[in-house]
Structure 1
Amino acid sequence: MLPSDAQFTTLRPVRKATVSSVSKYWERLLGKATAADRDALADPLTMAGLDQFNANIENFIGTVKLPVGIIGPLRINGLNAHGDYHVPMATTEAALVASYARGAYAATKSGGINTAILYEGVIRTPAFVLDSLLDAGLFVEWVVREIEPLKARAEATTRYGKLISVEPVIDNNIVFLICRFTTGDAAGQNMVTIATNAMCEDIAARCPVTLRAWYIEGNFSGDKKASFLGMVTGRGRKVSASVILRAEVVEKTLGTSVKAMLAYGQVANLGSLLSGQLGAQAHFANGLAAVYIATGQDAACVAESAMGVTRMEARGDDLFCSVTMPNILVGSVGGGTSLPSQSAGLNILGLKGTGNGAALAEVVAATCLCGEISIVAAIAAGHFSRAHENLARHR
């Protein structure tokens, strides 16, 4: 027997959380879930501020609390991030914060991490289906001629987004347009989607070449996916960070030697090559996920952000360490940055609000470099398993 419509009333999308809507959901959930589960998610502090979650979620039933640790002070000498930062990291993985804190201490003892944004541009790649290869060529020709009015149409939807390039890619009768935007201090995923959609609607309305269909995203951009396009051109902010670790810091702080770290680095790079990694790095995803969650970023973007290259080279007796990350998607405004806990994370960094998006991206890259330094040192010294045994299993 099929369930009645009445049984599904509360399963319809609820966009505005109220005490009544939360209670109705929990009436349905209690049975498998317990009253203690309800109280853990729908706690008094959460229930007292329901309105602050409405822009970020539907069918609201409560909030999840994750442990948050801190690393630092981490000294950063960047084009946008300057000073000593305490970086919040939200994770359930024991030993992670300790590892990043150790890398931050070693980097700061060596004078700090140099950072710079090399490139910026969040992309959306709409796809257009035409009748033939000839029509695809005529379509691209028209888009090129009309680029200025199309740019104006896209930018009319946003105060901060700027369309900086449109790059066509033709596969016979299908055309992808790589639309690249700067997004101010926001990560900008929704911003570029809305702007690109307005541009596409204008194309569909005015283009003299017949379109069989068009789609706002042709699955070409690498949105929340690792891709060669993202690795080469980037899809957010491309950031490079580096530090020269003094030999005595490597020995006293990291418990190993420059020679040992370089020897392991050679083997790790071979492993990256043989396994077909997009880039060569140890564990960007750990640091990215922890900082993204702590500061209100879209955690799913770790899928594309966790690409890049870690380098370690001898500089005299010292060790040059760098990361270059082409897909850091973060913002100091918008998204989840206004939620209470995530707002607190940005305030701890001193990077909440307008004017801080670029600095936040540099802090993220510097944090990932700290993680690379620490894990390479731990494996090179044979300490990796022991640290996890002591801090994770038998804490």
Structure 2
Amino acid sequence: MKNLTSNISRPKYDYIDSSVLDKLESYDHQLSKAERIPDQDPYSINGQKLRLNFIRSTLNLDMDFISGEKVFNNNESLKGNIENYIGMSQIPTGIVGPLVLNGSAAQGAFYIPLATTEGALLASYNRGAKACRECGPITVITLQEGVQRTPTFKFKNLIEAGKFSSWVMDHTETFSALTRESSNYAILNDVNVNIEGNISILRLEYTSGDASGQNMVTICSDRICQFILENCPIKPVFWTIEGNFSGDKKISPLNTRVRGKKVTAEIVLKEEIIKSVLKTTPALLYEQWRICVSGAKKAGVVGSGMHPSNGLAALFIACGQDVACTGEASVAVTRMEIIENNDIYFAITMSNMIVGTVGGGTSFPTQKECLELLGCYGAGKSGKLAEIAIALCLTGELSIFAAMSSGQFTAAHQKLGR
């Protein structure tokens, strides 16, 4: 049997174009200047109006649906998003920031909408954003993209599974053509075969433009499978469009390569800011991180993140994302070290950032308003949203490490979460 490697060309490694690096190095720090969100009267109508007026005057955006001044009534637009509709669930939505980024796709200051019922959550992320902002922009780079579907075929024996797999790898260019015929946006980037006895699992990897891509890659994969079933001389005794090998909406060690977008971010925190804003010390912050990484390993956790799912779920709900994708998107690997001047270097890498700025729930009124608040509504914006999302997670990780290392964690939840 021939070597089962795809003849589709794609980078098998993290890659950064030199023009992106030049862009990051030439970042204009004037972009970092942004006004602070009014935080007075946190639970009153007056405070709500202050913040709405701030958004309207500062960003020139109408937030009529978020504010409740307008009500959704375009039921026809629900097609493709929900069945048996009865109404809208209302989840409180607030903003944090500004979050200042120097990214390959996102540059500048951003006010982040978060929808949650967990008290203390926005306060924590807001504090992390402030600490980062006072130390400079968070540097963010998107490294890889890819969304997978894993059709699975069962045969009478291993020999048939092997012959089938060999035939499949001879037709990958045809699969690419079928993908182009099936979607205006999907591109088939990789075909991989995994043989398990008499079972052959195909791992089809695509890019999906500015959509999150799950439905898109399912449709394209089905088209490929129908071609295989009609033309391959080796016929399976059973097949399915998904063999649960893609890591879709769940944590999987396999997804540490890429699912959605692989993004990495870093910040250097100055000692004085760690003390004044995060209310801890570099030594305590580092020790808390080190203990939590060790604990995650002992517990068998994939990654070393503390609570990226908190920020992602709140952001995804606000911005019309598939919230179930926090299952894989929240896998994070963090790095922290004490460097010169007793400053802290902190980095986070997330390999499964599945977000979209078109399709799905992005066009509903409040979700559209939240995406517009980020400058992320419409085509050409999904990379920007992914970089904002990981920067948000970075701020949340820093804030929770700080709260735990200084003994503030319980008190903060007693004050804001009860």
Take 2:351 and 2:404, find their aligned partners in 1: how far apart are those partners?
26
Deviations along 1:324-356, whole A, 9 cap, x unmatched?
Answer: 001110011111100111001100001110110
Number of the residue aligned with 1:354: 379
Number of the residue aligned with 1:297: 321
Equivalent AA in structure 2 for residue 244 of structure 1 = V
Q: 1:78 aligns with which of 100, 103, 106?
A: 103
Confirm whether residue 157 of structure 1 aligns to residue 182 of structure 2. Answer: yes
Following superposition of structure 1 onto structure 2, how do residues 99-114 of structure 1 map, counting pairs within 5 Å? Answer: 99-114=124-139
Number of the residue aligned with 1:28: none
Take 2:73 and 2:281, find their aligned partners in 1: how far apart are those partners?
53
Number of the residue aligned with 1:226: 251
Q: 2:221 aligns with which of 196, 200, 204?
A: 196
Number of the residue aligned with 2:293: 269
Quote the sequence identity (%): 43
Number of the residue aligned with 1:390: 415
Number of the residue aligned with 1:260: 284
Runs of 4+ in 1 over 6 A off after TM superposition: none
Report the CA distance between 1:51 and its aligned residue.
2.0
- Tell me if structure 1 keeps the 8 A contact 2:72–2:365: no
Worse-matched range after superposition: 45-54 or 369-378: 45-54
Number of the residue aligned with 1:141: 166
Report the CA distance between 1:153 and its aligned residue.
1.1
Uncovered stretches (5+) of structure 1, i.e. residues with no partner: 1-42
Number of the residue aligned with 1:374: 399
Worse-matched range after superposition: 211-220 or 148-157: 148-157
Q: TM-score, normalised to structure 2's length?
A: 0.82
Q: 2:344 aligns with which of 299, 319, 331?
A: 319
Deviations along 1:189-239, whole A, 9 cap, x unmatched?
Answer: 1000000000000000000112112110001111111111112x2211111
- Tell me if structure 2 keeps the 8 A contact 1:46–1:62: no
Take 2:179 and 2:389, find their aligned partners in 1: how far apart are those partners?
29
CA RMSD of aligned residues (A): 1.2
Confirm whether residue 239 of structure 1 aligns to residue 263 of structure 2. Answer: yes
Q: 1:284 aligns with which of 289, 308, 318?
A: 308
- Tell me if structure 1 keeps the 8 A contact 2:335–2:348: yes
- Tell me if structure 2 keeps the 8 A contact 1:120–1:235: yes
Uncovered stretches (5+) of structure 2, i.e. residues with no partner: 1-67
Take 2:69 and 2:235, find their aligned partners in 1: how far apart are those partners?
57
Deviations along 1:57-95, whole A, 9 cap, x unmatched?
Answer: 110000011111101111000011111000100000000
Equivalent AA in structure 2 for residue 267 of structure 1 = I
Q: 1:217 aligns with which of 217, 242, 255?
A: 242
Deviations along 1:160-205, whole A, 9 cap, x unmatched?
Answer: 1000001000001101011000011110110000000000000000
Report the CA distance between 1:263 and its aligned residue.
1.1
Number of the residue aligned with 2:15: none
SS of 2:95 mapped into structure 1? strand
Take 2:291 and 2:404, find their aligned partners in 1: how far apart are those partners?
11
Q: TM-score, normalised to structure 1's length?
A: 0.87
SS of 2:379 mapped into structure 1? coil
Give the count of matched residue pairs: 350
